[in-house]
Amino acid sequence: MALILNTGGLGYIGSHTCISLMKNGFDVLVIDSLVNSSRNNFERIKYLLNEIKVPYSGKLFFEEGDLRDTTWLDNIFKKQISINNPIDSVIHFASLKSVEESVSNPLKYWDANINSTLSLLSIMDKFNCNKIVFSSSATVYKARDDKKLDENTFQEPINPYGNTKMTIEKILKDLYLSDASKWKMINLRYFNPVGAHDSGILGEEPKSNPTNLFPILEKVVLGELEELSIFGNDWPTKDGTCVRDYIHIVDLSDAHFAALKFLENKPSQYISLNIGTGNGLSVLEIIENYSKLNNISIPYKFVERRKGDAASVVADNSLALKLLEWRPVKTIEDICLDSFRYTTKKLLI
Ligand code: NAD
Ligand code: WQD
């Protein structure tokens, strides 16, 4: 079966995508510097596949290293050719992703995100590996509260992290245009990925201090935080708290398999697709669902609005639904139950 290079594949989205790809018969070569993940995740993926008996037919490999090390990367591509198992396609997750850190240390973000992508693309080009799925983000859009965001929404990121995502999309497009018959490229613009594998074994485990809603919720559940601070209750939304499009991590991972299949059937391609559910939920609705479904109380208080937040960010996902053999199937119930299961179970493994 074709070998997929999964950069950043031990991180939150990449690790779940390993499962999705292997279930569908692909072999997966993960490369990761472990800057925001650990080797444990490699063991967890293998444990899950073998012990929990997820049916799979693909094989899994791992090499530790930084994408910016072009010589190392060159050797990986060379080695795969020498053993007659060349890299067929790339899913490019590897990136730094903290909005706050990108504001305080923009050069670190430009170096990590742009130089790693340039290194990857130059080696792909050299070895004639021309299929890539890129992890982009809804953060590239100028938020509009009045309607869902489609792929033509004006782009205006408001932080260095978002600027690197938009820039990488431009780099990819320039490369595509340099030889339009050769490249097959998809930018998947994720909305808010949340939840965990339903085994409770894989989930989000950032090394740095999280600022996203679900990892903070997790801290409240574990008693590491007394209460959740909700950023504002005077937004122009249904209940005054911000609305987001939360997509279950397993649905999101499956979109990568669908994206590879879509590319396989195209002569060449450069396209951007929104990956979200198309449904918005407010922070209060999340708390209500989470506490009711898991039978726990989530103490919270309202605080000032967070700088840079928008009232509502919801995907118009109709293009992805039309072009990919994919649709999100998980519910908010799945998100809350799986997230809680992982939070409470991960201490045991
Ligand atoms: P993550 O931090 O959990 O995973 C990223 C992985 O990349 C980590 O394992 C890290 O160690 C690795 N990595 C980073 N820089 C590297 C480098 N130079 N060389 C090799 N490995 C490197 O993040 P995630 O949530 O899984 O996100 C994956 C991708 O999706 C990222 O590109 C992120 O920007 C994008 N994205 C994430 C979200 C989200 O909310 N999680 C939303 C939109 C887009
Ligand atoms: C969700 C909602 C907060 C924490 C971020 C990045 C974006 C993308 C996804 C990568 C918001 C509210 C949160 C808290 C709260 N990442 N909240 N109290 O801001 O939509 O997007 O992650 O590409 O680039 O900006 O997600 O999880 O931070 O917040 O009230 O302690 O929860 O105001 O409405 P966001 P988030």
Residues 151-175: pLDDT tens digits? 999 999 999 999 999 999 999 999 9
Res 58: pLDDT: 84
Ligand found nearest the CA of 237? 2
Of 123, 57, 115, 114, residue with least CA distance to 87: 123
Distance 61 CA to ligand 1 centre (A): 18
Indicate which residue of 12, 141, 161, 190 is catalytic: 161
Altogether, the residues listed in the chain come to a count of 349
Helix (H) or strand (E) holding 282: strand 281-282
CA 179 to chain centre: 28
Res 347: pLDDT: 54
Q: Which residue type sits at 29? A: L
Asked whether the beta carbons of 140 and 149 are under 8 A apart, the reply is no
User: How much of the chain is in helix, strand and coil states, percent to nearest 5?
Assistant: 40, 20, 40
Q: Locate all alpha helices (DSSP H) within 105-230, ordered by sequence.
A: 106-109, 116-126, 160-178, 213-221
Q: What is the Cα–Cα distance from 349 to 345, expressed in whole angstroms?
A: 7
**Domains identified in the chain and CATH numbers:** 3-196+246-276 (3.40.50.720)
Q: What is the Cα–Cα distance from 269 to 308, expressed in whole angstroms?
A: 33
Residue 161 a catalytic site member = yes
Nearest-atom number in ligand 2 for the CA of 214 is 27
Condensed to tens digits (0 to 9), the pLDDT of residues 286-343 reads: 999 999 999 999 999 999 999 999 999 999 999 999 999 999 999 999 999 999 999 9
Q: Locate all alpha helices (DSSP H) within 179-230, ordered by sequence.
A: 213-221
Res 146: pLDDT: 80
Condensed to tens digits (0 to 9), the pLDDT of residues 42-78 reads: 999 999 988 777 777 889 999 999 999 999 999 999 9
| Residue 325: both structure tokens together | 């053999």
Res 348: pLDDT: 54
Distance 143 CA to ligand 1 centre (A): 22
Q: What is the Cα–Cα distance from 64 to 246, expressed in whole angstroms?
A: 31
Q: Is 248 helix (H, G, I), strand (E, B) or coil?
A: strand
Compute the mean pLDDT over every residue in the chain, rounded to the nearest whole number.
95
Alpha carbon nearest to ligand 2 atom 28, residue: 212
